[in-house]
Structure 1
Amino acid sequence: MGSLKDNQQFFNGKAWALPKFPLLWSNFSYTWETYHFGRYFVNSIVVTVGSMALALLLSATTGYVLARYTFKGSGLLYYFYISSLMIPAILTLVPMFFLFDTLHLTNSLTGLILLYAIGALPFGIFVIMGFFKSLPRELSESATMDGASHYGVFLRIMLPLAMPGLITVSIVNALSFWNEYPLALILMNDPGRYTLPVGLAVMQGEMQYRTEWGPLFAGLFISMVPILLLYAIFQSRINEGLVAGAVK
């Protein structure tokens, strides 16, 4: 409703009233072009999809090895991953920035993708490992007897059976990556590489004393639509994955 109004409709004391005709659909095009939301939108898609794919790959492979194979130090490695969930991300900002600056990964979408994927590993391993542990070992043993390699068992047998867990982790990560603000703000200083949350903050800062409420709400709506659609489409899968993981 707010994205279809002009400033006057906000200042008349009826901010919650329905927008008046004609509806200002031009707020969307104005925000998309004037405040470079098209560029921010593409950057967010690249970072979210890239981080989600990398995090899922690392979580699935690591969780599978820790769940199905026993080796010296496997328990210590698992608790090392899980213990990192107790460390507030805000405490890592300064050393993380200097590390990424030394590696020349600041002001880079690649650096942001790596950072997001690494940060999502503990949760992904925790959830996916539970699914792999619940699968009967007879399945992998039968596949091995039929001539399947370790990679074949993982890719053709175990991975499809753990699909509810993979989907749950993917959607939860996508929600987190799409809305993440502090890390993107710290790592990026090139306006051409801003993501949507940073772009919204920059947009509000550029307005100064001439706040354009309609375009600002339009920008917020643009940033919300993809993740709302994603959640609406996969909502049943998310619930299925969480419940199955809890029961198993």
Structure 2
Amino acid sequence: METGIRNPAVKIAFYAILLLWSVSVIYPLIWTVLDALKNNEQFFLGAPWSLPKIPLIWDNFSYVWKHYHFDRYFVNSFIITVGSTLLGLILSAMTAYVLARYPFKGSGVLYLLYVSSMMIPFILGLIPLFFLMNSLHLINKPIGVIFVYASSLLAFGIFVLVGFFKSLPKELEEASVIDGASHFGTFFRVMLPLSQPGLITIAIVNVLNIWNEYIVGTILINDPRQYTLPVEIAVMQKEMQYRTEWGPLFAGLLFTIVPVLIVYMVFQRKIASGITAGAVK
């Protein structure tokens, strides 16, 4: 990695800080993996941070998957995450396209309102949100959670995509209209595919946020059959007051951590490039 730092002492200090930061991030994950391979006896008789003994307790993963119904909660999280991401993408893309390509009186103010909403903590609106969803009979329904997640992520999607749409040549739209395409046809067949880098960035960030979200899940879902993975992890932790199963608890944590970790590792470069591409253009 080229840092541009020429002073050897400063470069050593820079790499030392990066090393310490990497250890502080990686160590909790390694500790979680090791503790997921232990039984209760190893937790009580040995140190929690000690290495697991042979044979490793791989049954913790199958136990938590079946006994705690993680298969059901994994599917719930997957449906809500995919549905919220797709709905948020299409709504933010359509809004950003109108703001970028069809300016109207007040469009700049509207854009500023969308962007400034990212500075307002979402937790401040939980109480009115609950009453609104309850009046719409969307409590304990995945579609209600999908609507909330998709709407909460609109501002970020609009912020990223407006720059992309402004950077695209107007000649593309004109050529599409000459070929007989409508406004919707131009958007879905020409402009939307060209904004793919921004869409990928938004999709990845949304997936990471929605998959790990806990507060909205606890407010809008109180049916155990509709729990998402973060909510079920919290339920497992509360049950530890009455019975201790530390190995399965850490195994459940890994079921929650590993999918988003894989997504981030695969697409981390696209996140950075997608956010900056629109601005650079």
Which of the five TM-score ranges fits, normalised by the shorter chain? Answer: over 0.9
Q: Partner of 1:201 in structure 2? A: 234
Distance in 1 between residues matched to 2:134 and 2:189, nearest whole Å: 40
1:156 aligns with 2:156: no
Aligned to 2:17: none
* Counterpart position of 1:235: 268
1:210 aligned counterpart, secondary structure: coil
Instruction: Note closer, same or farther for the CA distance 1:17–1:246 as it changes in structure 2 (3 Å cut).
Output: farther
Q: 1:246 to 1:213 in 2, by over 3 A?
A: farther
Distance across 1 between alignment mates of 2:52 and 2:279: 45
Q: Distance in 1 between matches of 2:252 and 2:80?
A: 19
Given that residues 204 and 211 in structure 1 are in contact (C-alpha distance below 8 angstroms), is that contact kept between their aligned partners in structure 2?
A: no
In the alignment, the residues of structure 2 paired with residue 24 and residue 41 of structure 1 have an alpha-carbon distance, to the nearest angstrom, of 22
RMSD: 1.4
- 1:213 corresponds to: 246
Structure 2 counterpart of 1:174: 207
Greater alpha carbon shift after TM alignment, 206-215 vs 160-169: 206-215
1:101-120 → structure 2 map (5 Å cutoff) = 101-120=134-153
Does the 8 Å CA contact 2:164/2:279 hold for their aligned counterparts?
Answer: no
Give the equivalent residue in structure 1 for 2:119.
86
Pair member with larger Rg? 2
SS at match of 1:4: coil
1:45 matches 2:78 = yes
Distance in 1 between the 2:119 and 2:76 partners?
A: 30
How far the C-alpha of 1:144 sits from its partner, in A, is 2.1
- Residue 248 of structure 2 aligns to a residue whose secondary structure is helix
Identity fraction in percent: 62
SS state at 1:18 partner: coil
Q: Name stretches of at least 5 consecutive residues in structure 2 with no aligned partner.
A: 1-33
> How far is the alpha carbon of 1:48 from its aligned partner?
0.2
| Alpha-carbon contact 1:143-1:153 (below 8 Å) kept | yes
Q: Per-residue displacement from partner, 1:165-218 (whole Å, max 9, x unpaired)?
A: 000000000000000001100111110011000000001111214321110000
Alignment counterpart, residue 69 of structure 2, candidates 36, 40, 57:
36
Deviation string 1:208-241 (CA, Å, 9 cap, x unpaired) is 1432111000000011121112222222322221
User: TM-score normalised to the size of structure 1?
Assistant: 0.95
Task: Describe the superposition over 1:35-59 as per-residue Cα deviations: whole angstroms up to 9, x where unpaired.
Answer: 1211111110010000001000101
Q: Runs (4+) of structure 1 moved beyond 6 Å?
A: none
Q: In structure 2, what is the Cα distance between the partners aligned to 1:239 and 1:75?
A: 26
Find the residue that maps to 1:53 and give its secondary structure: helix
Alpha-carbon separation, structure 1, partners of 2:278 and 2:117: 21
Alignment partners' CA distance in 2, 1:66 and 1:242: 18
- Equivalent in 40, 47, 59 of residue 26 of structure 1: 59
Which residue among 163, 166, 170 is the counterpart of 1:133?
166
Q: Could you list the runs of 5+ residues in structure 1 that have no partner in the other structure?
A: none
Indicate conservation of the 8 Å contact 1:168/1:241, yes or no.
Answer: yes
CA contact (8 A) 1:58 1:121 kept: yes
TM-score of the aligned structures, taking structure 2 as reference length: 0.84
Distance 1:2 1:243 in 2: 39
Work out the CA distance in 2 between the residues paired with 1:74 and 1:205: 48
Shift of 1:2: 1.1
Instruction: Quote the offset at 1:157 in angstroms.
Output: 1.7
Code of the residue aligned with 2:201 in structure 1: it is: T
Please state whether the residue corresponding to 1:71 is helix, strand or coil.
coil
Q: How far apart, in 2, do the equivalents of 1:98 and 1:49 lie?
A: 25
Q: How many matched pairs?
A: 248
